[in-house]
């Protein structure tokens, strides 16, 4: 019995050491572009098929992070080859990397800020011939430049359809638009549909929230906010302006 207990303890310790040695390497677009030249590695895009079709890194496979069988299919990847992961901002690919390292994969690389940062560095993407670009809440730079010069407060919500925090905030944003109608102009900008604007502003993540008046930036926030947090910001800026 003692020998069995010792054996079990040894296995557990071995597994702990393996998991401790499994490191996810966060890399920049330039580093990533060099790494994926390795012919033995696996390059994987973990976005949806629509996102993939509208712009992906050449020679990458695609596996939808939101699919029910994502984890099962992800773990079919070979353990003896480096795995190179990316998504739009690095969030989904980081989650995928966590799954791999928890299951003994030792050579996992994540494009830290995703393909948004990749495109900011003017690195190439492939657009499929049958791609259907997203046009909802599209905005170009000239429209944006005109919008932020408004004499009234303008609140801009940069979001993406695939972004979970963005989706969770959508009902709140819709209700705020009603509650502050006539006092704050609340505008949504879809980053997937507004890639030229995203590139000009050098955005690398969503949600990204800003308030402008007369061309002056009064507030900015990267990440989700609660209703109480944003209404407090609204009231403060209305009082000042």
Active site residues: 163, 166
H or E element: which one contains 210? strand 208-213
Q: Checking DSSP bridges between strand 208-213 and strand 216-222, what pairing results, if any? A: antiparallel
- Rounded to an integer, what distance in angstroms lies between the CA atom of residue 180 and that of residue 132? 34
Per the document, the length of the chain is 241
Please give the C-alpha separations between residue 238 and each of 19, 172, 177, 221, 222, in angstroms, as whole numbers: 52, 19, 15, 18, 21
HSE (side-chain half, CA atoms, 13 Å) at 52? 16
């Amino acid at each position: 019995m003692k020998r069995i207990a010792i054996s079990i303890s040894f296995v557990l310790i071995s597994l702990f050491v393996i998991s401790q040695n499994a490191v996810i390497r966060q890399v920049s677009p330039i580093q990533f572009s060099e790494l994926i030249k390795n012919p033995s590695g696996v390059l994987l895009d973990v976005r949806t098929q629509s996102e993939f079709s509208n712009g992906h890194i050449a020679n990458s496979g695609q596996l939808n992070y939101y699919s029910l069988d994502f984890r099962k299919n992800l773990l079919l990847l070979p353990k003896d080859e480096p795995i190179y992961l990316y998504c739009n901002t690095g969030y989904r690919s980081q989650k995928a990397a966590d799954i791999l390292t928890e299951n003994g994969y030792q050579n996992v690389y994540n494009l830290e800020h995703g393909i948004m940062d990749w495109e900011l560095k003017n690195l190439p993407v492939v657009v499929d011939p049958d791609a259907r670009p997203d046009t909802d809440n599209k905005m170009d730079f000239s429209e944006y430049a005109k919008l932020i010069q408004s004499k009234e407060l303008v609140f801009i919500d940069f979001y993406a359809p695939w972004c979970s925090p963005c989706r969770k905030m959508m009902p709140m944003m819709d209700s705020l638009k009603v509650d502050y109608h006539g006092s704050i102009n609340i505008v949504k900008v879809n980053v997937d549909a507004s890639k030229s604007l995203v590139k000009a502003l050098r955005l690398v993540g969503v949600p990204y929230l800003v308030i402008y008046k007369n061309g002056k930036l009064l507030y900015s926030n990267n990440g989700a906010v609660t209703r109480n947090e944003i209404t407090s910001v609204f009231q403060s800026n209305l009082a000042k302006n």
